[in-house]
C-alpha cells in the first residue's frame, strides 16, 4: 500500500475517538473522519487495499460498534454516518471485485478469502446485545412515524438498517473456526437470537404485513431467508414435540447400519492380523505378474496383509481430473440449533404464515412480474414458497395460510421461472454453478406445490379435495407440466449440478408419477394437450400441374407394367401412408353428380400417370363411398380387386382432360402453402392413458437411466425414500416395460455388488431383491449369448435390448417381414413353380390351391401372382382375378327363402328383420338390404312396419339407456385397436359424448341428455325458419333409417345446398337449437359443416325430430 495513503487512513481512524475501559469518547472530528473513511472506500481499487486495511485495523469492532452504542439522540448525524459506513464495510466480498465475481487468479482469491475472514469477525462483533438493541430501537422509532411525517432521511435510514442486518446475516459461517456441533449455538444463531431479544423480528413481521411498508418487501423477504438459512423446515416444525415412531425407527435403522458395518470391519481387520513382528515382514513372490527379469514372478519387498492392497502408485502424483468428471460440490448446509432458538424460529414462522405470507408474497410476485425488483430476485420468492409450505405441511396443515401460492396460475409461474433458469444454466457458461443452485431452488418449490396438492387430496375436507382435483386436472392436461421432469432428468450434468438437486428432482418426479397414476386409475382415458411435429416446406412458385396425356394401347401397357409392382405395394400399405382427407366431389357445386363422377375418374387416371399412387388409391376409395357399385369397384373388394379396378381406369380412353373447380381450389391451396423444411410444433388434443407416459421412448432410454444409476451408487448417503424412488424407476423400466437387458450395465452391476456384499444389506432389502432379479436374468441369458459380457460396457437402446433378448439380427428380420414383397429364396421359387405346374390344369382356383399347400403361410395372394408374373409363368394377371359378386343382387333361391321366412314371422312379436336375418343362409346380408328387398318384392308397403317393436310401457330410448353400452364398447375397442396418442377429432371420438365436461381445462368424456328448448323452438318458428327446421327433421329421420338398417355408422355432415339453409346456420339461436339436440359444430380450420355425431342412436334421432315437430304443431 502507498505509504502516504496508509498514513492518511491511520490518522483518520485516530480522529474517530478512543475507548477508556467500557466508555468510548468521540473526538470532535468524528463526523468528518467518518465521511473521510467513506470517501476512501469509494476510491478503492480492484485489490481492495483500503477495505482490507480497515478490516485489519478492526475499525468496526473497536470503534464503530462503540460509537453506535454511545450516540445520543442529538448525535443523529453521527449515527446515520456510522450506519452508512457499516453497510459499506459489511457488503458481500464478491461485490467488492469487478462485475461482482470472485477473481480466478491466485492473488485475487487470496484477497477474497481475506475479506471473508474480516466479514466473519464483523459478524461476531454484532453478537453484542447492546449494539443490536440500539439498532432495533432506532428502526422502531423511525417506523412509528406516520407516512406523511417521514423525511427522505428517514427512508434512507430504514433502508440502511435493513441492508446492514441483511449483510450481517449474509456472512458465511466458518465451521472449522467455530467448531460447533448440532444443538449448540453458532455465531449465526447468536446474531439471530440478538435480533429476537431486541424485537427486530417483530419489526420484520410488521413490515411484511403492513400495506404501507410495501417498498421494503424484498429486503424483508431476503432477511427472513437469511435468518432461516441453515434450518430444516421439517425439523423446525417438529421442535419441542416428542419424536414420532417413524423418526425413532429411522434413528434405530441408522444406528443398526453403522453397528453392522463396524462389526464387519472389525472381523475383516482381525483376519489381517499377523503374529510375526514387523521387522520380519519378509519378501513376497507375486505369481503371474511380469517382473523386470522377464519372468512371470515378481518380487515384492513390502509386507502385504491383503492382496488388494498391492499398489505401485505410492510415490506417484495423482492425475488431475477433467472438469467434466469432477462432481459438483454440495452447497446446501443444514444444522440443528439449540432448542430455544428452534422454538423461537418456530413461533416466528407460525406468525409469519398467519399474518404475512399471503400479503407479502402477493406483493413480491407482483413486483417480479412487473420488473420492479432487482435481477434474479425470483430466487427469494421460490425459497419462501419452498420453506414455508413445507413448514406448514409438517406443523399444522392449513391451506388458507398459503392460499396465495396454491393456484394454477402459480404453478404456471413457477414452471416459467424453472425453464428460464434452465435456459440461463445452458447459455451462461461462466456461471453454471450459480444457475444450477437457482434451478435447484425452482425444483424444490415445484415439489412443494405437488406435495401440498397431494396432502389436499388426502384431506377430509371435501372442498380441499375438489380444489386438488381441479389443480391436478390442469397440470395433467398441459404438456409442459407432464414433460418437464423427463426433460430435466435427461439434461442432468453431474459436473455442474449437485447430488442434492438430483435427489429432489427424482423425488419430485416420483410424486408426480404417483399422482398421475392415481388420477388416471378408474378412467378409461383422459383428454390432454399434446405437442406434435408438423412438416412445412418452402414457399415455391406455383407450377402448372402435369397434364394428363392420351396414351396409345401399347404405351399404356408398357407404362402399366412399369408401375404395377409399386402400385401393388401401395395398395397393401407397404410403401407409405395413404392420405385420408380426400374429397371426391363438391356437394355445394352446380355441376351434376354424374359429371363429377367422370371428373373423379379423370383425376385418378392423371394421378396414376404422374406416379402419385397414394393419392390415386385414396381418391378411388373415397369415390367408392360416394358412387358404390360403379366404376370404382365394390366396397367389400380385396386389394386385388382394387388393383384391377385401377387397371381398368388407367386403360380408359374416353375420359375428358379437364379440371374441376374442386381441383382448381386444391391447386390454389397447394400453391399458397408455405413449405419450409423445418419441423414446427403445434398443440393438438389426444386421448391418453397412464401407460402412454411409461413408454419406451420416454423412460426406456439411457439419458433417463444414467442419472438414476449414478445416484444409486451413493446409496449409503441417500435416504431410504430416495433409494426407494430410484429402485422404483428402474423397476418400471425392467419389469413394467419388460426391458430387463437395459439394466445390463457395468456401473450398475458394480453398485449391485457393493449392495450384496454390504454388511448392512439387511437395511436395503428392496435393492437386494431387485439386484438378484436383474443378475438372475443376466446369468440366465449368458449361455445363450456368449458376448453378453461385452454388452456391459455400453448403455443400450431398446433396439439393442431386443436383439440381446431375441438374438442378433432379429430386429432386422422383424422389420423385413413387414415390408412388401418379402424376398423369395431359391427353394421357395422352386416350390412355387412345382405347385403351379401341379394345379394349373385343375378346375379349382390355382392361387387358392397354392396358398393351401405353400409352406410359408405368410404369403398373400397378390405376392404369389406377382411372383408368377416375374417368373414368366403367367402373362396376364387378370386371368387370376376372382369374379366379384355384384353387391345387392338377389338370386331366385334367395328371394324364395326370403319370402318363406317373411311369411312365417310377419305376424310375430319383436324384431321381424332380426329373425329373418338369423334364418337366411347368406349371412352377409345387412338389415338395410333385407328391408329394401322386401319392399321391392311387394311384400311390404311401408318400411316403418319393419321397425323394432317396443314392449308396452317401455320408454322411448334415452341416451343413458340406449347409448351407454355402445359408447363403452366403442371406447374400449378404439383404445385397443388404435394408438392413444393420435389426435382427437370430433368425427373419430364418439360424440354421443359430444359434451365435454369442463374441469379446469381438462375435459372428461361423458354422456349428456340434450332436450330442445320449447321457447327457443317457438322463437325460430316465429322468425320464419320453419323450412329450415323441417330440413333438420328430414335429415335426422334419414340418418335414423340408415343407421337402423346398417351397422357401419359414420358422422353425417349437414351439407347446406340452399342459401336459406346457409343463412339459418349463421343465426345464433338456430345454432343453439342444433347444440340442444346434440349436433356437433364444425372444428375450426378442419371442418366446414355441422355434423350428426356418430354416437346418436336411431331412437334418439327420431325423438329429436318428433319433439321439434310436436312443438311446431303445438304453436
Q: What is the mean pLDDT of the chain?
A: 78
Structural domains of the chain, count: 7
pTM higher than 0.75, yes or no?
no
Report d(CA 708, CA 702) in Å as an integer. 10
- pLDDT on residue 504: 95
Q: Is residue 289 very low, low, confident or very high in pLDDT (cuts 50, 70, 90)?
A: confident
**Ramachandran angles phi, psi of 1006, nearest 5°:** -155, 170
Q: Is residue 35 part of a domain?
A: yes
Top-ranked range on mean pLDDT: pick from 442-446, 621-625, 904-908: 442-446
886: how many CB neighbours lie within 10 A of its CB?
8
**Within this chain, do residues 11 and 150 fall inside the same structural domain, yes or no?**
yes
pLDDT digits (tens, 9 = 90+) for 154-167: 999 999 999 999 99
Mean of pLDDT values over 267-286: 67
Q: Is residue 970 part of a domain?
A: no
**Ramachandran angles phi, psi of 999, nearest 5°:** -130, 65
* Strand-pair partners of 265: none
**Within this chain, do residues 492 and 563 fall inside the same structural domain, yes or no?**
no
Report d(CA 1115, CA 1103) in Å as an integer. 18
**Within this chain, do residues 573 and 621 fall inside the same structural domain, yes or no?**
yes
What is the percent of the chain where pLDDT is above 90? 29
pLDDT digits (tens, 9 = 90+) for 649-708: 887 776 776 544 444 444 444 444 433 333 344 444 444 454 555 555 578 889 999 999
234: how many CB neighbours lie within 10 A of its CB?
13
**Within this chain, do residues 443 and 496 fall inside the same structural domain, yes or no?**
yes
Q: Is residue 1018 very low, low, confident or very high in pLDDT (cuts 50, 70, 90)?
A: low
**Within this chain, do residues 1019 and 1070 fall inside the same structural domain, yes or no?**
yes
List of residues 6+ apart from 3 with CB closer than 8 A: none
Lowest-confidence region among 247-261, 356-370, 732-746, 815-829? 815-829
Of the residues 766, 791, 814, the one at which a domain ends? 814
Q: Is residue 1046 very low, low, confident or very high in pLDDT (cuts 50, 70, 90)?
A: low
**Within this chain, do residues 166 and 61 fall inside the same structural domain, yes or no?**
yes
Which has more confidence, 835 or 272? 835
Is the confidence at residue 519, as pLDDT, over 50? yes
- pLDDT on residue 618: 83
Is the confidence at residue 525, as pLDDT, over 80? no
Q: Is residue 368 part of a domain?
A: no
Which has more confidence, 63 or 609? 63
Mean of pLDDT values over 543-556: 62
Q: Is residue 203 very low, low, confident or very high in pLDDT (cuts 50, 70, 90)?
A: very high
Of the residues 749, 782, 814, the one at which a domain ends? 814
- pLDDT on residue 570: 79
Q: Is residue 300 very low, low, confident or very high in pLDDT (cuts 50, 70, 90)?
A: confident
**Within this chain, do residues 422 and 437 fall inside the same structural domain, yes or no?**
yes
Q: Output the CA torsion 455→460→462→464 (10° steps).
A: -30
Q: Is residue 383 very low, low, confident or very high in pLDDT (cuts 50, 70, 90)?
A: very high
Q: Is residue 1099 part of a domain?
A: yes
**Within this chain, do residues 800 and 857 fall inside the same structural domain, yes or no?**
no
**Within this chain, do residues 835 and 810 fall inside the same structural domain, yes or no?**
no
List of residues 6+ apart from 94 with CB closer than 8 A: 100, 101, 102, 112
Q: Is residue 500 part of a domain?
A: yes
Report d(CA 624, CA 637) in Å as an integer. 11
Q: Is residue 33 part of a domain?
A: yes
Q: Is residue 825 part of a domain?
A: yes
**Within this chain, do residues 1018 and 897 fall inside the same structural domain, yes or no?**
no
**Within this chain, do residues 623 and 742 fall inside the same structural domain, yes or no?**
no
Beta strand ranges found along 21-172 (DSSP E): 23-26
How far apart, in Å, do the first and last CA atoms of the chain sit? 105
- pLDDT on residue 384: 94
Complete edge-to-edge strand list for the sheet that includes strand 526-536: 678-688, 526-536, 1003-1006, 995-998
575, exposed or middle or buried, with CB in 10 Å at 0-12, 13-18, 19+? middle
387: how many CB neighbours lie within 10 A of its CB?
22
Mean of pLDDT values over 424-429: 90
- Asked whether 54 and 36 are in contact (CB, 8 A), the reply is no
Mean of pLDDT values over 168-186: 87
Full residue range of the structural domain in which residue 921 is found: 892-937
> Which three cell numbers, joined as nine digits, stand for 1028?
329450415
Report d(CA 993, CA 849) in Å as an integer. 49
95: how many CB neighbours lie within 10 A of its CB?
10
Residue reference for cell 379435495: 465
- pLDDT on residue 907: 76
935, exposed or middle or buried, with CB in 10 Å at 0-12, 13-18, 19+? middle
Mean of pLDDT values over 108-113: 93
- pLDDT on residue 984: 35
Residue reference for cell 454388452: 791
Which has more confidence, 675 or 149? 149
- pLDDT on residue 581: 65
**Within this chain, do residues 23 and 166 fall inside the same structural domain, yes or no?**
yes
Q: Is residue 335 part of a domain?
A: no
Report d(CA 560, CA 611) in Å as an integer. 11
Q: Is residue 247 very low, low, confident or very high in pLDDT (cuts 50, 70, 90)?
A: low
Amino acid at each position: 500500500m502507498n505509504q502516504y495513503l496508509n498514513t492518511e487512513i491511520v490518522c483518520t481512524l485516530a480522529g474517530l475517538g478512543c475507548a477508556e475501559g467500557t466508555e468510548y469518547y468521540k473526538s470532535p472530528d468524528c463526523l468528518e473522519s467518518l465521511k473521510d473513511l467513506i470517501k476512501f472506500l469509494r476510491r478503492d481499487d480492484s485489490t481492495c487495499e483500503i477495505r482490507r486495511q480497515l478490516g485489519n485495523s478492526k475499525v468496526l469492532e473497536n470503534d464503530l460498534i462503540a460509537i453506535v452504542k454511545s450516540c445520543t439522540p442529538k448525535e443523529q448525524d453521527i449515527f446515520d454516518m456510522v450506519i452508512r459506513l457499516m453497510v459499506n464495510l459489511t457488503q458481500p466480498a464478491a461485490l467488492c471485485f469487478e462485475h461482482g465475481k470472485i477473481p480466478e487468479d491466485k492473488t485475487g482469491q487470496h484477497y477474497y478469502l481475506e475479506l471473508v475472514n474480516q466479514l466473519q469477525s464483523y459478524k461476531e462483533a454484532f453478537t453484542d446485545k447492546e449494539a443490536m438493541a440500539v439498532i432495533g430501537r432506532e428502526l422502531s422509532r423511525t417506523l412509528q412515524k406516520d407516512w406523511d411525517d417521514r423525511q427522505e432521511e428517514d427512508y434512507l435510514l430504514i433502508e440502511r438498517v435493513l441492508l446492514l442486518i441483511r449483510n450481517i446475516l449474509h456472512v458465511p459461517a466458518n465451521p472449522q473456526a467455530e467448531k460447533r456441533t448440532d444443538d449448540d449455538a453458532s455465531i449465526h444463531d447468536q446474531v439471530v437470537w440478538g435480533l429476537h431479544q431486541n424485537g427486530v423480528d417483530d419489526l420484520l413481521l410488521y413490515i411484511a404485513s403492513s400495506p404501507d411498508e410495501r417498498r421494503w418487501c424484498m429486503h424483508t423477504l431476503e432477511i427472513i431467508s437469511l435468518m432461516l438459512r441453515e434450518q430444516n423446515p421439517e425439523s423446525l416444525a417438529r421442535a419441542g414435540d416428542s419424536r414420532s415412531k417413524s423418526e425413532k425407527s429411522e434413528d434405530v435403522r441408522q444406528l443398526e447400519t453403522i453397528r453392522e458395518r463396524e462389526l464387519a470391519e472389525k472381523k475383516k481387520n482381525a483376519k489381517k492380523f499377523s503374529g510375526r513382528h514387523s521387522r520380519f515382514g519378509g519378501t513376497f513372490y507375486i505369481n503371474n505378474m511380469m517382473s523386470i527379469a522377464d519372468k512371470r514372478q515378481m518380487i515384492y519387498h513390502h509386507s502385504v496383509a491383503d492382496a488388494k492392497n498391492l499398489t505401485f502408485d505410492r510415490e506417484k502424483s495423482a492425475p488431475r481430473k477433467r472438469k467434466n468428471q469432477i462432481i459438483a460440490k454440495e452447497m446446501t448446509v443444514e444444522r440443528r440449533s439449540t432448542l430455544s432458538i428452534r422454538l423461537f424460529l418456530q413461533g416466528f414462522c407460525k406468525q409469519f404464515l398467519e399474518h404475512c405470507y399471503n400479503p407479502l408474497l402477493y406483493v413480491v410476485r407482483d413486483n417480479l412480474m412487473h420488473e420492479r425488483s432487482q435481477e434474479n430476485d425470483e430466487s427469494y420468492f421460490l425459497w419462501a414458497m419452498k420453506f414455508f409450505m413445507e413448514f406448514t405441511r409438517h406443523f399444522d396443515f392449513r391451506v388458507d395460510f398459503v392460499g396465495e401460492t396454491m393456484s394454477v396460475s402459480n404453478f404456471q409461474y413457477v414452471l416459467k421461472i424453472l425453464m428460464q433458469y434452465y435456459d440461463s444454466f445452458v447459455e451462461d457458461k461462466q456461471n453454471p454453478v450459480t444457475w444450477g443452485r437457482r434451478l435447484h431452488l425452482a425444483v424444490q418449490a415445484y415439489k412443494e406445490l405437488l406435495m401440498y396438492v397431494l396432502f389436499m387430496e388426502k384431506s377430509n375436507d371435501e372442498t380441499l379435495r375438489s380444489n386438488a382435483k381441479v389443480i391436478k386436472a390442469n397440470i395433467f392436461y398441459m404438456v409442459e407440466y407432464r414433460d418437464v421432469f423427463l426433460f430435466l432428468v435427461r439434461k442432468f450434468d453431474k459436473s455442474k449440478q449437485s447430488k442434492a438437486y438430483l435427489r429432489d428432482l427424482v423425488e419430485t418426479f416420483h410424486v408426480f408419477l404417483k399422482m398421475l397414476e392415481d388420477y388416471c386409475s378408474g378412467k378409461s382415458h383422459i383428454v390432454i394437450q399434446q405437442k406434435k411435429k408438423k412438416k412445412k416446406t418452402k414457399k415455391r412458385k406455383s407450377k402448372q400441374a402435369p397434364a394428363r396425356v392420351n396414351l396409345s394401347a401399347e404405351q399404356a401397357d408398357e407404362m402399366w407394367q412399369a408401375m404395377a409392382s409399386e402400385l401393388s405395394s401401395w395398395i397393401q400399405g407397404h410403401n407409405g401412408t395413404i392420405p385420408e382427407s380426400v374429397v371426391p366431389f363438391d356437394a355445394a357445386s352446380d355441376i351434376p353428380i354424374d359429371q363429377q363422377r367422370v371428373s373423379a375418374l379423370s383425376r385418378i387416371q392423371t394421378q396414376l400417370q404422374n406416379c402419385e399412387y397414394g393419392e390415386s388409391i385414396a381418391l378411388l376409395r373415397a369415390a367408392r363411398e360416394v358412387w358404390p357399385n360403379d366404376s370404382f369397384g365394390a366396397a367389400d373388394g380385396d386389394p386385388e380387386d382394387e388393383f384391377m379396378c385401377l387397371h381398368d381406369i388407367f386403360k380408359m380412353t374416353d375420359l375428358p382432360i379437364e379440371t374441376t373447380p374442386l381441383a382448381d381450389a386444391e391447386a390454389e391451396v397447394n400453391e399458397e402453402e408455405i413449405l419450409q423444411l423445418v419441423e414446427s410444433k403445434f398443440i393438438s388434443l389426444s386421448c391418453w392413458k397412464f401407460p402412454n407416459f411409461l413408454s419406451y421412448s420416454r423412460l426406456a432410454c439411457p439419458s433417463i437411466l444414467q442419472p438414476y444409476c449414478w445416484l444409486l451408487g451413493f446409496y449409503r448417503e441417500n435416504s431410504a425414500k430416495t433409494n426407494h424412488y430410484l429402485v422404483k424407476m428402474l423397476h418400471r423400466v425392467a419389469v413394467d416395460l419388460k426391458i430387463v437387458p437395459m439394466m445390463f450395465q457395468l456401473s450398475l452391476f458394480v453398485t449391485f455388488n457393493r449392495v450384496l456384499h454390504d454388511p448392512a444389506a439387511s437395511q436395503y432389502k428392496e435393492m437386494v431383491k431387485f439386484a438378484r432379479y436383474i443378475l438372475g436374468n443376466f446369468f440366465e441369458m449368458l449361455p445363450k449369448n456368449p458376448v453378453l459380457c461385452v454388452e456391459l460396457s455400453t448403455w443400450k437402446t431398446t433396439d439393442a435390448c431386443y436383439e440381446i433378448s431375441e438374438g442378433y439380427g432379429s430386429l432386422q428380420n422383424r422389420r423385413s417381414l413387414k415390408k412388401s414383397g418379402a424376398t423369395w429364396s431359391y427353394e421357395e421359387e422352386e416350390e412355387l413353380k412345382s405347385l403351379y405346374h401341379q394345379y394349373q390344369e385343375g378346375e379349382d382356383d390355382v392361387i387358392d390351391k397354392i396358398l393351401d399347400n405353400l409352406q410359408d403361410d405368410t404369403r398373400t395372394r397378390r405376392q404369389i401372382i406377382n411372383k408368377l408374373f416375374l417368373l414368366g409363368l403367367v402373362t396376364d394377371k387378370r386371368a387370376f382375378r376372382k369374379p366379384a359378386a355384384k353387391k345387392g343382387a338377389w338370386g331366385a333361391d334367395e328371394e324364395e327363402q326370403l319370402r318363406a321366412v317373411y311369411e312365417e314371422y310377419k305376424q310375430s312379436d319383436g324384431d321381424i328383420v332380426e329373425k329373418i336375418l338369423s334364418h337366411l343362409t347368406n349371412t352377409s346380408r345387412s338389415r338395410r338390404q333385407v328391408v329394401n328387398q322386401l319392399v321391392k318384392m311387394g311384400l311390404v308397403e311401408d318400411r316403418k312396419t319393419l321397425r323394432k317393436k317396443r314392449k308396452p310401457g317401455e320408454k322411448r330410448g334415452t341416451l343413458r339407456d340406449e347409448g351407454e353400452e355402445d359408447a363403452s364398447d366403442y371406447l374400449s375397442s378404439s383404445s385397443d385397436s388404435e394408438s392413444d396418442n393420435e389426435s382427437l377429432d370430433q368425427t373419430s371420438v364418439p360424440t354421443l359424448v359430444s359434451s365435454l365436461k369442463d374441469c379446469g381445462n381438462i375435459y372428461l368424456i361423458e354422456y349428456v341428455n340434450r332436450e330442445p328448448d320449447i321457447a327457443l323452438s317457438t322463437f325460430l318458428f316465429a322468425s320464419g325458419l320453419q323450412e329450415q327446421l323441417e330440413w333438420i327433421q328430414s335429415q335426422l329421420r334419414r340418418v335414423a333409417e340408415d343407421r337402423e338398417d346398417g351397422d357401419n355408422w359414420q358422422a353425417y355432415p349437414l351439407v347446406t345446398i340452399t342459401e336459406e339453409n346457409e343463412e339459418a346456420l349463421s343465426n345464433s339461436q338456430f345454432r343453439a337449437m342444433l347444440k340442444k339436440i346434440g349436433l356437433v359444430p364444425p372444428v375450426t380450420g378442419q371442418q366446414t359443416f355441422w355434423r350428426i355425431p356418430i354416437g346418436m342412436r336411431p331412437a334418439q334421432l327420431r325423438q329429436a325430430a318428433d319433439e321439434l315437430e310436436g312443438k311446431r304443431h303445438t304453436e
